[in-house]
Amino acid sequence: MARLWLPKTARSTLGRKRRGVRIIGGVRVAALYDIHANPVALRAVLAELECEHVDLIVVGGDAVPGPLPGITIEMLRSLRDRAVFVRGNTDRWTVEAFDALAGIRADERRVERPAAEWTATMIDHGQRDFLASFQDHAIIEVDGLGAALFCHGSPRCDEEILTSLTPERRWRPMLAGVEQRLVVCGHTHTQFDRSLGGVRVVNAGSVGMPYEGRPGAFWALLGPDVEHRRTDYDIRAAEAEFRGGGWPGVDHFLSKSFLEPADPLAIARSLEHQANAT
């Protein structure tokens, strides 16, 4: 299956030009989203992928923050040309926090984000540059599915909220100008597969910090169809490693995703309330 990599400055066919990458050629894709600096989960998924004959990995944003950012970033960097990296909002916030701490492009209007600011103190400049290199989106010809748009929140914004409960009145503006019939997103940490006006929208789930009502690493396999996947790993064994990283948010991280997993429907309702309030 031939693969053509275009320059990172390649533009998509969305209504307004944004930095993206386009890959042509029917490939089988593993979509790994919202890893949130959980290298134990990432390691488990990558081991499973060794048996899946995957052509390409799409890391769909929010690689950080989380308990072990430096280790996670180095694992992702080691994927090299096996992966395409799409930017998430917290990747962007971490770069902004790093730059503010370093006195680069300081912005007095920047909102304080404690998790991103802590992460910025735990990574080096090369790791910052790696996060900054992530694309706004990727368009990939997937085997059996055709052209798919991979984004983080929605096609127009990395912070926009899409859930299994999002009403049509909010979906339609987000999909305006999208020519692809398949959109793969993340951001809300819960898997779903919905259709609206001829567009199939798939949330790949969260590898590192899921809200699925049970622990595990959640991701998606694309080609020739869409398959939601869950990879199991030993959370209890990983807990000491997570706590050893010193992340102030580790208790909440462990509770909501693993020790007392949040109900996905309750999360969707809460996120819809948040979206409607803005």
- Return mean pLDDT, the chain: 89
**Which residue shows structure tokens 């809460």?**
270
Q: Answer whether residue 1 shows pLDDT above 50.
A: no
**How do the domains of the chain map onto residue ranges?**
4-277
Out of 2.120.10.30, 3.40.50.1820, 3.40.50.300, 3.60.21.10, the CATH code matching 4-277 is 3.60.21.10
Per-residue pLDDT, averaged over 221-242, amounts to 95
Point out the least confidently predicted range of 35-39, 45-49, 70-74, 194-198. Answer: 194-198
pLDDT, tens digit, 9 for 90 and up, residues 268-278: 999 998 888 76
Between 274 and 90, name the one with better pLDDT: 90
